[in-house]
């Protein structure tokens, strides 16, 4: 394949097994004497559980066991831990309400697990689950945030005051109020960030085993080590009374995670309990309905934002007040998403004097909400970029010119925003103008008129996004070389389809001067990999990739010690280049493979070098990176139907130094597709009784290939100083930039009719209704 490294558009090596059907996902893994688990779920959003009668189910054909929460608690399976809750006004974080693995005395959302059945076959388990009789006493329901916070609203938890989990804020309120006091104009906007179902193509699943001493859990996850720690309580509250050394977590191939598979769910814990209880491997694979009901959902925020502006069109300050929904229970990062994860990015790419954010995190009788691709940053970008466009319209200044006046200048970096984010680098005006040129921005008004002559409404929407990613804790890498010269990379990062096997192979091959075919990358097994953070926050390349390069360089230093013995030279005289060690100034060389083979010889290997040149590096935490870019979306709307047609979609991104342009484009365009999905199609809808009314693909609308535009994608490399590769995260960037760009395009198309806002998803029906209202008003 050749020695491909930074900047080479290599196709993913993982794709060979995926396209030939030889990938191995959780549901592909089976064990001898395996049994199957089915889950009985609550049909009510809020009810007391008066009794559970499992008598008939226990004697059904094929049944090995029927279990409720008291069975789990007796065996030490007690809790679903929450990880991070932000502090309230007094500086202390509230305790998360208790979340049992199976419903205990009360159910709080439709789909909450109540009991499990283990049987010889899946059909037998499902049939038996229907024989369980649960006596429910229904309670009043609060399914939306505003109702949950109203006076006298039904409480989800008796030992918790109201349904407000925490009231959180950030920024300088006094400085913000002072900036607003001197403003010549204040522009306000109210926005709903609609709730989204992750809908990964591979539903969640779990295979649990117990060998009499240790548990093994095989499951598609974004972090095997994190999952093990949440279960065993290695770093805090634990879900089960299992010592960390008694649990192995294995992650096979994963068919889509998008944040949702970062977390610990009820079913894997129930399967771990059940495998010991029945003495056999226990397998559970969720169906699509179960995914809609019990996977964590994303987004679900209500925002009121205000921008203080001078008469010259300079932004002075922003203030935002929000409601954020966490659902019925607190998922591990759930309370962080509407607060700490995204609010720091509400300043966008703009030079502001002050900012203040106020958030009420609310509990409702709905499925838990947690990170979904972007995790707070798309919500922040949507608020700012919708607000900027509204400000431009009210001031009569072109959107590009208003942004140009307020962008942070390149010479201002490093730049600390009023909300404390340490932006590392950026050339915002340059990227915006490159995108505008490719989109023929200057010719748009003529295109708008041409469309109007055909009875169509034409709109051109801009967003300039920025996000924070790539930082976080220490990352782990271990490299070794076998006697045949093959390099094994063990990384604490984890592949969820982004292509880390390929990128880490590229980095290893470039650093060591070898072929990519000679590199094997392994991830996701807690017995095989000592530690790791998994995948999340677009940090794989900045943190994990940097760790791989650092470890490869350390391996070279180990190799020099062995090469010195082989070449009978002093270590200081050994240099390394193109896969070979050389005595400086001579043509005497030895290959990496020969040195690795010699390292297995005690007579040639120094005491401080392990056989195979084994090298382990714990990459220190790296600072966040700040990908940014301009999205320009041009659409046409049919006034008679409200249907949208994409005319053009241009992206100009700054993702730092690029390792693999081909894979980068796939990440950006995939993310953009998901952002378009939120803007135009997707929304999970609960009715007033807490029932999910669109819990299947029959009525939950996702974008398809025929309603995603052909993207005109390009990038400009502005290196990040935050990590040794100069990389900025790419996994979530497309999602963050696309939603406001599409929404702004729709509003721009409808603005001549006097329409200033439509809530997402901006469906043809909503657009048609807005056109009809505008026509009636005009008449």
* Cβ pair 432, 400 in contact under 8 A: yes
pLDDT of 537 over the 80 cut: yes
Question: Rounded to an integer, what distance in angstroms lies between the CA atom of residue 83 and that of residue 96?
Answer: 9
The residues, any chain, with a CB within 8 Å of residue 191's CB and separated by 6 or more, are 302, 303, 304, 305, 382, 383, 386, 759
731-740 as b/e: b if 16+ CB within 10 A: bbbbbbbbbb
**What value does the mean pLDDT take over residues 459-488?**
94
**Nearest Cα residue to 613 out of 601, 633, 599:** 599
For 460, phi and psi rounded to 5 degrees?
A: -130, 115
246-301 pLDDT, tens per residue? Answer: 999 999 999 999 999 999 999 999 999 999 999 999 999 999 999 999 999 999 99
Q: Which residue has the higher pLDDT, 393 or 471?
A: 393
Closest CA to 299 of 259, 356, 264, 265: 259
Q: Where are the alpha helices (DSSP H) in 709-763?
A: 733-750
pLDDT tens per residue, range 568-577:
999 999 999 9
Give the pLDDT of residue 4.
65
Each as own residue / partner, the long-range contacts of residues 169-172 (CB below 8 Å, 24 or more positions apart, any chain) are 169/89, 169/356, 169/357, 169/358, 169/359, 170/339, 170/343, 170/344, 170/356, 170/357, 170/419, 170/420, 171/354, 171/355, 171/356, 171/357, 171/418, 171/419, 172/354, 172/355, 172/356, 172/418
Residue 120 has a CB neighbour count (10 Å cut-off) of 16
Give tens-digit pLDDT for 745-768. 999 999 999 999 999 999 999 999
Quick check: helix, strand or coil at residue 498? coil
Neighbours of 394 (CB within 10 A): 13
Q: So what's the pLDDT on residue 497?
A: 86
**CA–centroid distance for 194 within its chain:** 17
Report field, pTM of the whole predicted structure over 0.85: yes
Q: 761: cis peptide before it, omega within 30°? A: yes
What confidence score (pLDDT) does residue 90 get?
87
Q: How many CA atoms lie within 13 A of 40 on its CB side?
A: 24
How far apart are the C-alpha atoms of 13 and 495, rounded to whole Å? 12
Q: Using the 8-state DSSP alphabet, how is residue 752 labeled?
A: G
**Segment 607-612 mean pLDDT:** 95
> Is there a contact between 368 and 332 (Cβ–Cβ < 8 Å)?
no
How many angstroms separate the first and last alpha carbons of the chain?
68
Q: How far apart are CA 469 and CA 202, in angstroms?
A: 25
- Does the structure show a pLDDT above 90 at 456? yes
- pLDDT score recorded for residue 711: 97
Cβ pair 318, 355 in contact under 8 A: yes
Structure tokens at 412: 């201002």
Residues 32-80 have pLDDT tens digits of 999 999 999 999 999 999 999 999 999 999 999 999 999 999 999 999 9
Residue located via tokens 């049992």 = 100
Give the separation between CA 162 and CA 456, rounded to whole angstroms: 50
CA dihedral (522, 525, 531, 534) in degrees, to 10, reads 80
Edge-to-edge strands of the sheet including 589-591?
574-577, 580-583, 589-591
Contact (CB, 8 A) for 327 and 400: no
- pLDDT value for 1: 35
The proportion of the chain whose per-residue pLDDT surpasses 90, expressed as a percent, equals: 92
> Are 65 and 124 a contacting pair, CB within 8 Å?
no
d(CA 243, CA 226): 14
- For the cut 60, the answer to whether the pLDDT of residue 2 exceeds it is no
**What is the pLDDT confidence band of residue 429, given thresholds at 50, 70 and 90?**
very high
Where do we find the tokens 């109702």?
Answer: 147
What CA–CA distance (Å, rounded) separates 389 from 140?
A: 41
Contact 282, 353 (CB under 8 A): no
Q: Which residue is associated with the tokens 């005491």?
A: 607
Q: Based on the number of CB atoms within 10 Å of its own CB, is 190 exposed (0-12), middle (13-18) or buried (19 or more)?
A: exposed
Closest CA to 385 of 193, 197, 537, 195: 193
Return the number of other C-beta atoms located less than 10 Å from residue 166's C-beta: 22
Under DSSP, the state recorded for 541 is I
Tokens of 346: 């509400």
Q: What is the pLDDT of residue 160?
A: 86
Cβ neighbors of 771 (< 8 A, separation 6 or more) are: 639, 642, 750, 753, 755
Residue 535, exposed/middle/buried by CB under 10 A (0-12, 13-18, 19+)? buried
Strands 315-327 and 301-309: antiparallel
Per-residue pLDDT of 90-138, as tens digits, reads 899 999 999 999 999 999 999 999 999 999 999 999 999 999 999 999 9
Residue 411 has pLDDT above 50, yes or no: yes
Residues 6 or more apart whose CB falls under 8 angstroms from that of 607 comprise none
Q: How many residues does this entry show for the chain? A: 779
pLDDT number for residue 3: 58
Q: Are 206 and 217 in contact (CB under 8 A)?
A: yes
* pLDDT over threshold 80, residue 463: yes
Which stretch of 144-153, 225-234, 456-465, 748-757 has the lowest confidence by average pLDDT? 225-234
| Digit-coded pLDDT (tens) for 302-334 | 999 999 999 999 999 999 999 999 999 999 999
Cβ–Cβ < 8 Å for 298, 370: yes
Q: Quick one: pLDDT band at residue 235, thresholds 50, 70, 90?
A: low
* Pick from 199, 257, 341: nearest CA to 540: 257
Mean pLDDT value across the chain: 95
């Amino acid at each position: 394949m050749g020695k491909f490294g930074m900047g080479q558009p290599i196709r993913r090596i993982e794709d060979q097994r995926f396209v030939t059907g030889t990938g191995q996902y959780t549901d592909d893994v089976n064990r001898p004497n395996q049994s199957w688990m089915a889950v009985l779920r609550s049909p009510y959003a809020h009810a007391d559980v008066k009794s559970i009668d499992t008598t008939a189910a226990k004697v059904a054909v094929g049944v090995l066991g029927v279990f409720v929460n008291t069975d789990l608690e007796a065996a030490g399976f007690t809790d679903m831990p929450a990880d991070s809750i932000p502090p309230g006004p007094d500086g202390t974080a509230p305790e998360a309400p208790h979340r049992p693995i199976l419903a205990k005395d009360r159910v709080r959302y439709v789909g909450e697990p109540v009991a499990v059945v283990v049987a010889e076959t899946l059909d037998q388990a499902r049939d038996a689950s229907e024989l369980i009789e649960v006596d429910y006493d229904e309670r009043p329901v609060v399914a939306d945030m505003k109702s949950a916070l109203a006076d006298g609203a039904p409480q989800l938890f008796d030992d918790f005051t109201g349904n407000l989990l925490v009231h959180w804020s950030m920024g300088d309120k006094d400085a913000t109020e002072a900036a607003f006091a001197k403003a010549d104009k204040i522009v306000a906007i109210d926005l709903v960030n609609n709730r989204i179902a992750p809908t990964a193509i591979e539903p969640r699943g779990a295979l649990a085993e117990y060998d009499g001493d240790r548990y093994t859990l095989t499951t598609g996850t974004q972090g095997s080590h994190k999952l093990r720690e949440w279960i065993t309580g290695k770093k805090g509250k634990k879900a089960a009374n299992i010592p960390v050394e008694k649990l192995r977590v294995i992650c096979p191939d994963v068919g889509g995670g998008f944040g949702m598979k970062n977390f610990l769910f009820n079913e894997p814990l129930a399967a771990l309990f059940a495998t010991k209880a029945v003495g056999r491997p226990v397998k559970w694979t969720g169906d699509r309905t179960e995914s809609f009901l019990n996977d964590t959902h994303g987004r679900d925020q209500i925002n009121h934002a205000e921008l203080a502006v001078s008469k010259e069109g300079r932004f002075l300050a922003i203030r935002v007040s929000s409601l954020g929904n966490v659902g019925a229970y607190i998922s591990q990062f759930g309370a962080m998403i509407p607060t700490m994860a995204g609010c720091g990015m509400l300043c966008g790419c703009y030079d502001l004097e002050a900012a203040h954010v106020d958030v009420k995190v609310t509990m409702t009788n709905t499925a838990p909400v947690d990170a979904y691709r972007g995790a707070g940053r798309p919500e922040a970008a949507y608020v700012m970029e919708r607000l900027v466009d509204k400000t431009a319209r009210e001031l009569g200044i072109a959107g590009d010119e208003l942004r140009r006046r307020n962008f942070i200048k390149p010479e201002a970096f490093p730049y600390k925003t009023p909300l404390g984010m340490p932006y590392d680098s950026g050339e915002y005006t340059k990227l915006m103008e490159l995108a505008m040129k490719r989109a023929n921005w200057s010719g748009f008004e003529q295109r708008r008129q041409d469309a109007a002559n055909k009875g169509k409404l034409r709109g051109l929407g801009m967003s300039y996004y920025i996000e924070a990613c790539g930082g976080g804790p220490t990352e782990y890498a271990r490299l070794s070389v076998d006697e045949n010269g093959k390099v094994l990379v063990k990384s604490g990062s984890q592949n969820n389809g982004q292509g880390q096997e390929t990128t880490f192979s590229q980095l290893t091959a470039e650093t060591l001067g070898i072929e990519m075919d000679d590199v094997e990358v392994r991830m996701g097994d807690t017995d095989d990999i000592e530690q790791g953070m998994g995948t999340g926050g677009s940090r794989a390349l900045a943190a994990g990739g940097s760790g791989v390069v650092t470890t490869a360089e350390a391996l070279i230093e180990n190799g020099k010690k062995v090469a010195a013995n082989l070449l009978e030279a002093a270590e200081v005289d050994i240099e390394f280049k193109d896969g070979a060690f050389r005595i400086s100034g001579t043509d005497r060389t030895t290959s990496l493979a020969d040195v690795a083979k010699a390292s297995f010889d005690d007579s040639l290997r120094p005491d401080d070098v392990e056989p195979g040149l084994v090298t382990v590096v714990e990459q220190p935490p790296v600072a966040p990176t700040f990908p940014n870019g301009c999205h320009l979306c041009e659409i046409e709307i049919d006034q008679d139907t409200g249907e949208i047609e994409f005319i053009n979609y241009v992206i100009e991104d700054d993702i730092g130094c690029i390792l693999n342009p081909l894979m980068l484009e796939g990440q950006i365009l995939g993310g953009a597709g998901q952002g378009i999905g939120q803007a135009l199609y997707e929304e999970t809808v609960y009715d007033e009784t807490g029932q999910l009314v669109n819990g299947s693909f029959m009525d939950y609308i996702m974008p398809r290939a025929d309603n995603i535009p052909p993207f005109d994608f390009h990038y400009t490399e502005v290196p990040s100083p935050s990590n040794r590769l100069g990389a900025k995260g790419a996994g979530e960037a497309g999602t963050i930039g696309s939603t406001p760009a599409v929404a702004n395009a729709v509003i721009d198309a409808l603005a001549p009719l006097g329409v200033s806002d439509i809530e997402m998803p901006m469906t043809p029906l909503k657009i048609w209704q807005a056109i009809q209202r505008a026509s009636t008003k005009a008449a």
